[in-house]
Amino acid sequence: MRQYVQVPTVEKEKAYDYNSAFEPRPCMCLGVCCCCAALRPRYKRLVDNIFPEDPKDGLVKADMEKLTFYAVSAPEKLDRIGAYLAERLSRDVVRHRYGYVLIAMEALDQLLMACHSQSIKPFVESFLHMVAKLLESGEPKLQVLGTNSFVKFANIEEDTPSYHRRYDFFVSRFSAMCHSCDQDPEVQTEIRIAGIRGIQGVVRKTVNDELRATIWEPQHMDKIVPSLLFNMQKIEDIDSRTGPQSSPTGGVKEENPSVLAENCFRELLGRATYGNMNNAVRPVFAHLDHHKLWDPNEFAVSCFKIIMYSIQAQYSHHVIQEILGHLDVRKRDSPRVRAGIIQVLLEAVAIAAKGSIGPTVLEVFNTLLKHLRISVDLELGDRRSSAGSATLSTSSKESDERIVQNAIIQTIGFFGSNLPDYQRSEIMMFIMSKVPVLGTTSQILDPSHLGDLGTRRIQIMLLRSLLMVTSGYKATTISNALPAPFLDPLLSPSLMEDSELRQLVLEILHNLIDRHDNRAKLRGIRIIPDVSDLKIKRDKISRQDVSFMKKHGQQLYRHIYLGCKEEDNVQKNFELLFTSLALTTIELANEEVVIDLIRLAIALQDIAIINEDNLPMFNRCGVMALVAAYLNFLSQMIAVPAFCQHVSKVIETRSVEASYFLPETIFKDKCDLPKSLEKDETDLFFLTNKIAESLGGSGYSVERLSVPYVPQVTGKKPHKCKHKSKDEDRLSRRKSIVDTVSLQVDILPGNNTEDKVDNTEEITFEALKKAIDNNGLEEQEKEKRRLVIEKFQKAPFEEIAAQCETKANLLHDRLAQILELTIRLTVQSQLLVDDETAPYLQHSVVIFTAAAYQPDQTTVYT
C-alpha cells in the first residue's frame, strides 16, 4: 500500500520535490529511480554510464566515447562534468571503493587530454581537487594514482596561463611523500618515486611562466630542494654500505629514487635564471649543515658538481659567492668542516674557471687569504695555549688546521692554473702582493701582527700556491713573466732567511724562465758527459730578453750568489741553484750574459776557497761541486774547445785527487769531508786567466773577466737581513758611488741654463754663419756625450766605480790646493794693504782661483 506525505493546505502545490532523506520501500524505490533517471541532466547520465556494475570490468569504453564527444561538443558543460566526477570520486574514496576511483581518474585523464578549450579552466580546478583528495588519503595506491594523473596534467601545454592557480598544497604534499618512511621498503620506494615525479611535474608546470605564481619563492624551494637531496643522499648511503653494484638497466634505473631526484634537481637548476639562482642554492647549504655532510664531504662535492654543470655558465659566480658567504658564516666551526667547504669551493672554482666568472676572481682570493690568516691564528693560538703541556687533542687540532691551509693553497693554485695566461699574470701579481715581506705592509696580512712564525707559515703557503699558479705558464717574453713589481718582492732578502722559502722561490723562477720544458732534463745536479744527449730546446735570444737581462740580470745573479752562502743549504738547494744557472744559460744567455755567468761561477768558487763567512765544510764542497757541474754544462753549451778542455781537465783531476768537489760524491749519504781546503792546489780550481785565454781566441770580449764579481744592489732599497750585514754594507758603499756618478752626468756641457739663454738670441746672418762654422764642433761634442753616457750604461760597475773614485780624488786634491791658495792670498792681503786696496786684491784672488779651475770638458767630475 502506498504512503503519501501530507502537504499543508497553506502551502502552494509544487510540481516535484525530491527529499533525499526519504527512504521508500523497495517497490516504491524502483519506480521513483526510474522516474528520476529520466529527469536527470544528460551529462550526469553519461557520467553514470561509464561506471560498470562490477568495477573489475573497468571503464565502459563505448559510453566513455559518448561522454568525450559530448564534452567536446558542449565545452560549457566541462565544469559540471568535472564537479560531478569529483563528487562521485570523493564518495567512492570515503567508502573505500577503489575500483570506481580508478575508473573515475581514468575518465578524468581522457577528458583532460581530449579537451583544449577556454572552458577547460574550471574543469582543471575540479581535476586538481580530485588529485588532492587522492594525495590526502593514506592509501599508497591512491597517492601514486593521483601523482600519475598530475604528471599527465603537467605535460599538457595550456593556451593561456591561469594566474590565480597555486600549487602550494602539491609542493608540500609531494615533498612529504619524498620523505616517506613506510615500513615496507617497496612501498616506501614507490611513494618516494611518486613524490619526486610530482615535484618534477610542478616544476615543469610552473617554472616557465614568469607571470604565474612562481615556484622560486623561498618557502617552496626550502621544501623542494631538501626533498630531492634527501633521496640522493639516502641512496648514496645505501650504496656505500653495500659496496659498488653493477650498473642497472634502463628500466631499473628509472625506478631508482636517487636517479630521479638527480634528474629533477638538474632540470630545476637548468631552468633557474639570474634573479632566482640564490633561492635554489641556499637550501643546499641548509641541508648539508643540518645533516652534517661537510665532514666527510663526498656528497657535498657531488651536489655542487651537479649544480655547476647544470646551471647556465654566466651564473657560475652566483654559486661561488654563496659558497664564500657560507664559508664566512662557518668560519668558527671545526677545521674539518671548513676544509670540507673549501674543498667544495675548489671543485666549483675548477669548473667555473673554464668560463668567465667576472669580478669573482679577486673576491675568491681575498676571502681565501682572510681564512688563511684565521687558520694560522687559530693554529698559533692553540700552540701557545698548549706550550706548557703537549696534549694529543692540541696536536690533532694543529693537524686539522694544516688540512684547512692545504685546502686553501690547493684552491688558490688550482684556480690560478686554470685561468688563461693573460689573466694568470695578474693573479701572480695579486698573490705576490699579499706575501708578507719584512719592511712592507699588506692590506690583509700584516707581519707585525703575525709574528715570525706566523709570517713564515703564510709566506710558505702563499709561495706554494704561487708555485701552482705558475706551473705551465708560457710567456712570450721574460719581461712579461717577471715584471719588476713581481720580481722585486720575489727576490726579497726576507724570503732568503729560510731554506724552504729559498727552494720555493727558485722553483717559481724555474716555472717562469723555462719556456721550452727543459727543466725535467736538468733535474738533479751532476756532471753531464754529453749535453747534446739531453736534446735541449732553445730559441734565439730576443731583444726583449736581452733588455731584461741588462736591467734585472744583476738581481738574478745576486740572488744566486747570496743563496749559495746560506749555512742551512741542503742538497735540494744546490740542485735548484744548478737548475737556475742552467735555465738562465738556455733561455737568456748571449755573449755578455755568458761572461757574467762565468764571473759569477768564479766568485762562487772564491766563496768556498776563501771562506770569509765561515761556512761548514759540506757547504764549501757543495759550492765547489755546483761550480763544476755548471761550468761543465756551460762549456758544452757554448762549444768552445779550449774552454771545454780546461773544464774537463779540472774535473778529471778532482775525480782522482778530490772527489768531494764533485756532485756525485759530496751529495752521497756518507762522504768523507776534508779537514781544510788548500788554496795552492790550483789544479783543482777553475782559473780565470785560462778561461779568458780560451774564450778570447773564440771572439769573446774577456776584459771583464779580470774584474771580480761583486753582488750589486738594484731596484728598491734592500730590506734588513740579520745575516747579510757585511754584504749589505759593502754594497751600500758602492751604491753611494753610483749615486754620485748619476749626479755627474747631469752637469755635462750643454745642459746648463746659460746655453738655454744663449739659444734665445736674435737670429742674424752672422749668427747663421757662426752656426754653420761650429756645426762640426757640435757634432764632436754630441759624440763625446754619447760615448760618456754609453760608458756609464754598459761598462762594468767595478770599472766605473774605480775610475770615478780616482778622478774624484784628483778633483779633491785640486780643490784643496785652490782653497789653500785662496786662504794664503787672503791673509797676505789683510797684512800688506790698507782697507782701500783690500777689495781690489780680494777680487783678484777670485779671478785667479777661477782661472786655476780649468776641468777637462771631456771628463766628468763632481
- Return d(Cα 548, Cα 551) in angstroms, integer: 5
pLDDT the model gives residue 777: 67
Q: Is the pLDDT of residue 737 over 50?
A: no
385-410 pLDDT tens trace: 665 555 555 567 677 888 898 888 88
pTM (2 decimals)? 0.68
User: Which pLDDT value is given to residue 774?
Assistant: 62
pLDDT of 845 strictly over 50: no
Higher-confidence residue of 776 and 383: namely: 383
Instruction: List the single range of 313-327, 358-372, 447-461, 843-857 with lowest mean pLDDT.
Output: 843-857
Report which residue type is found at 229: L
With cut-offs at 50, 70 and 90, classify the pLDDT of residue 842: very low
Residue 446: pLDDT band with limits 50, 70, 90: low
**Main-chain phi, psi angles of 717, to 5 degrees:** -65, 135
- Name the residue among 711, 716, 732 with its Cα closest to residue 485: 716
Alpha helices in 17-139 (DSSP H): 26-39, 42-49, 61-73, 78-94, 98-114, 120-136
pLDDT of residue 388: 52
Which residue bears the cell 765561515? Answer: 614
Whether the per-residue pLDDT at 20 is higher than 70: the answer is no
Query: In the chain, what are the helix, strand and coil shares in percent, each to the nearest 5?
Result: 70, 0, 30
Query: What residue has cell string 692540541?
Result: 394
Cβ atoms within 10 Å, residue 477? 14
Neighbours of 595 (CB within 10 A): 21
pLDDT of residue 300: 94
Between 353 and 201, where is the model more confident?
A: 201
| Cis peptide upstream of residue 296 (ω within 30 degrees of 0) | yes
* pLDDT at residue 443 tops 50: no
pLDDT confidence tier of residue 828, bands split at 50, 70 and 90:
low
C-alpha pair distances (Å), 314 with each of 62, 367, 746, 810, 816: 55, 21, 57, 73, 77
CA distance 528 to 522: 9
CB 517 within 8 A of CB 566: no
CA atoms of 640 and 510, how far apart (whole Å): 27
pLDDT digits (tens, 9 = 90+) for 631-659: 999 999 999 999 999 999 999 999 999 99
Share of residues in the chain with pLDDT > 70 (%): 74
Is residue 526 within 8 Å of 629, Cβ to Cβ?
yes
**Please, what is the average pLDDT of the chain?**
77
Length of the chain: 862
pLDDT band, residue 763 (cuts 50/70/90): low
Query: pLDDT-derived band of residue 514, with 50, 70 and 90 as boundaries?
Result: very high
What is the C-alpha separation between 174 and 135, in angstroms, rounded? Answer: 9
**φ, ψ at 97 (rounded to 5°):** -95, 75
Return the biggest CA–CA distance within the chain: 177
